[in-house]
């Protein structure tokens, strides 16, 4: 019969000093690259729409600007959470599912804004460029939605042997 003794505070960490605080390896993964591409595309969308002169439809472009800024900030927060490994510090939230819902809502809203900007932005080159980058951001968010679906909603392995 074997016995094991566990003491409080005797748990050793396998983390090395080279790991540091930042998880820079995340930026070289496919989700990290997609997230950085989305952030860059949404920043360009926001700047194109915000700095454009002669908006043909003020309310439509204000919506597009607001949606682009909102999802830019949300993606930046998600990127920082991955970089600083904050998901492990807050296990009470299902982070893959949270990102999945963020991508599903973001894909639809950015697509709507891009279509409206493409239709109403003719004649103003900055708005057309914002629309093009909006479609690029929509595509990148759809790819992230597809890849996060398998993590959030796909089949899960259980520890039980059948």
* 71-129 confidence digits (pLDDT tens): 999 999 999 999 999 988 888 988 888 999 999 999 999 999 999 999 988 888 999 99
**Would the pLDDT of 13 be above 80?**
no
Query: What is the number of residues in the chain?
Result: 162
What is the domain extent for residue 69? 38-149
Residue 154 inside a domain? The answer is no
Contacts of 97 by beta carbon, 8 Å cutoff, 6+ apart: 152
Give every CB contact of residue 24 below 8 A, 6+ residues apart in sequence. 83
With 50 as the cut, is the pLDDT of residue 4 above it? Answer: no
Establish if 3 belongs to a structural domain.
no
The reported pTM is 0.79
Residue 59: inside a domain, yes or no?
Answer: yes
**pLDDT at residue 15 greater than cutoff 60:** no
15 within some domain: no
Asked if the structure places residue 25 within a domain, the reply is no
Domains identified in the chain, total number = 1
Residue 155 included in any domain: no
Higher local confidence (pLDDT), 95 or 155 = 95
Q: Is residue 61 part of a domain?
A: yes
CA-closest candidate to residue 134, choices 53, 33, 63, 32: 63
Q: Is 58 within the bounds of a domain? A: yes
């Amino acid at each position: 019969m074997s016995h094991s003794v566990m003491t409080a505070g005797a748990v050793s960490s396998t983390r090395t000093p080279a790991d540091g605080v930042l998880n820079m390896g995340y930026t070289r993964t496919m989700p990290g690259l997609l997230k950085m591409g989305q952030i860059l595309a949404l920043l360009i969308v926001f700047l194109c729409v915000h700095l454009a002169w002669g908006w043909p439809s003020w309310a439509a472009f204000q919506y597009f600007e607001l949606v682009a800024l909102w999802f830019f900030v949300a993606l930046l927060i998600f990127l920082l959470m991955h970089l600083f490994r904050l998901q492990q510090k807050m296990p009470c939230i299902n982070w893959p599912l949270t990102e999945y819902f963020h991508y599903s809502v973001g894909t639809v809203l950015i697509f709507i804004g891009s279509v409206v900007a493409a239709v109403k932005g003719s004649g103003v080159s900055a708005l057309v460029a914002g629309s093009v980058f909006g479609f690029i951001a929509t595509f990148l968010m759809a790819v992230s939605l597809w890849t996060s679906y398998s993590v959030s909603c796909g089949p899960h392995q259980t520890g039980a042997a059948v």
